A and B are shown apart, each in its own frame.
Chain A
């Protein structure tokens, strides 16, 4: 079976900084992959490369067998990759529901309408369903500018889910969420997301979350992959303990 994502010999430098160093990664459908690594290891760069925001210096990126390394974020999104952001990227003056409605109307095959209301009843209901899955129904009509950081992350994820992507990339979904709420948040996210996108890549710093939710872990260190495999194996790896988890486990 063609993997959802296949990355081969991927390189990206920023001046002297090597942010992606010959990455080779194949992600089959249905996998839940966690990216770990200290700050500056290259996790967000990987997400940016896969979503077309950054162009690789060299290497191949394929979505379901189709080369996407030269595509724009817009085309990549249309082909089936969605993402959320480390710092939520929302339409700050709109309400949570309106943010999701924008995301849903973006999935329309026909051109957007000049006359039919954005908040048509069925569209609003779809948005509420998405928000509900993440436990956000109560905040639907509040401007996102009034929402806490953790809640904004969830709105960001709800927007990413609107397109029912084949591959969903979540950049630090639980950072900014309080420690007590991390698990319930992640439960919701994983449950919500698996209904649509089988394949998820999430950047995570909390190793308890990683062991609980990931089938596979990729440990990044200065643009390279130190270790790749089942969470138990990767988190026991000597290099990973030394450079990533700091011997915490």
Chain B
């Protein structure tokens, strides 16, 4: 397992997945595209969660990336897929730079509620902005790649799939390196005890702000990918249920493994499409049951299936079998 987490090996795996797209049936390809682009924003939530803070409003940056790219595409005709992903990342990141330093002063439920509130402010503003199509949003044209226009839908799908897998894969490699870095370890320290971090002469807020900006960059890029797939944008990008689904993926994944985020995102998309197919109108029910099962059987997320048990110390020790002592009656 260790060799697989070497950056070069990970790049190889990413490439392997791109090639796999050549043989996947069409419906799997679009499902995998969605899963990859959702992984990217969920990965950002995991990056932030490693400081102990959960954002319930990543839709804010998702929408910032999506709307930013859509507006630039429509006004300047910039349709290149790679450029669009980068613009999305920049839009998300810039907004993150504004909000991160302010919000990093808060922790726990206040932090989560503030992110949620900010995303709903944007949602409300977008709905009221008729210039941006209000609640209907607006359409954008097909993305191109390095000057190539894809008229064959199969080729267009494969291009989108490749860009999504590569963008998300590169983010995954970067996150793996980051998790092991000085800042990565410091993030876990902030999560465990932010006061002690301060006593060691380090600003815990700064660490949170840095992770927040990374999460915003990933969310913005993910918004761009999603825009390309739908070729349409509307305020739903910023809505709280959108954000909620990404938090859902992050919870499924746990915060210990990057690969787990992709697995969780793919699992969610599979559950979604199969429940739509075989159990129509029960999607929420199936989803709830699925989450419940993961929380019960894998409380540290899907990643705990293959990461070492070393860090399990964060969970309260399970009582040894038979250790329950009943008080003797007086």
Which A residues lie at the B interface, using CB under 8 A?
A: 51, 72-74, 77-78, 82-83, 89-95, 98-99, 101-103, 105-108, 112-119, 143-146, 159, 162-163
Q: Is the CB of B313 within 8 A of A102?
A: no
Which residues of the partner chain B approach A117 to less than 8 Å between Cβ atoms?
A: 180-182
CB of A102 within 8 A of CB of B186, answer yes
Report how far A116 CA is from B182 CA in the complex, Å.
7
Residue of B182, B199, B202, B310 near A143 (CB, 8 A) is: B310
- How far apart sit A89 and B201, CA to CA, in the bound complex (Å)? 14
Q: Which of B94-102, B189-197, B238-246 is the interface stretch? A: B189-197
A-B interface, 4 closest residue pairs, ranked by CB to CB distance from nearest: A145-B313, A118-B185, A91-B192, A77-B201
Closest to B311 in A: A93
* The one of A89, A107, A114 that contacts B195, using a Cβ cutoff of 8 Å: A89
Chain A positions within 8 Å of B201 at CB level: 74, 77-78, 106-107, 163
17 contacts between A and B (CB under 8 A): A51-B199, A73-B195, A93-B192, A93-B314, A94-B188, A98-B185, A102-B185, A102-B200, A113-B183, A114-B177, A114-B183, A116-B181, A117-B180, A117-B182, A118-B180, A118-B186, A159-B200
- The answer to whether A89 touches B182 (Cβ under 8 A) is no
In B289-330, the 8 Å CB interface with A consists of: 310-314
For A102, list chain B residues within 8 Å (CB): 185-186, 189, 197, 200
Residue of chain B at shortest CB distance from A117: B180
- We find that the number of chain B residues with CB closer than 8 angstroms to chain A is 27
Q: What's the A-B contact tally at a CB cutoff of 8 Å?
A: 105
Residues of A within 8 A of B312 (CB): 93
Q: Is B124 an interface residue (CB 8 A)?
A: no
Residues in A whose Cβ lies below 8 Å from that of B28 = none
Q: How long is the Cα–Cα vector from A114 to B183 in the complex, in angstroms?
A: 6
Q: Which residues from chain B sit less than 8 Å from chain A, CB to CB? A: 177-178, 180-186, 188-189, 192-193, 195-203, 310-314
Nearest chain A residue, comparing its CB with the CB of B192: A91
Q: Which among B193, B196, B199, B314 has the greatest number of chain A C-beta atoms within 10 A?
A: B199
Would you give the shortest CB distance from A222 to chain B, in whole angstroms? 27
Complex partner residue of A77 from B184, B188, B199, CB under 8 angstroms: B199
Contacts of B180 in A (CB 8 A): 117-119
Q: Which residues on A sit within 8 Å (CB–CB) of B185?
A: 94, 98, 101-102, 105, 118-119
Q: How far is the CA of A162 from the CA of B201 in the complex (A)?
A: 11
- Provide the residues of chain A in CB contact with B183, threshold 8 Å: 112-114
- Cross-chain contact A77 with B189 (CB below 8 angstroms): no
In whole Å, how far is B175's beta carbon from the nearest beta carbon of chain A?
11
Report A46 CB to chain B, min CB distance, Å.
Answer: 16
Residue of A nearest to B196 (CB): A89
- Complexed CA–CA distance, A108 and B186 (Å): 13
Not counting A77-B199, A101-B185, A102-B185, a sample of 15 additional A-B residue pairs whose C-beta atoms are within 8 angstroms of each other reads A72-B198, A74-B203, A77-B198, A78-B201, A83-B199, A91-B193, A93-B311, A102-B186, A107-B200, A107-B201, A117-B180, A143-B311, A145-B314, A159-B200, A163-B201
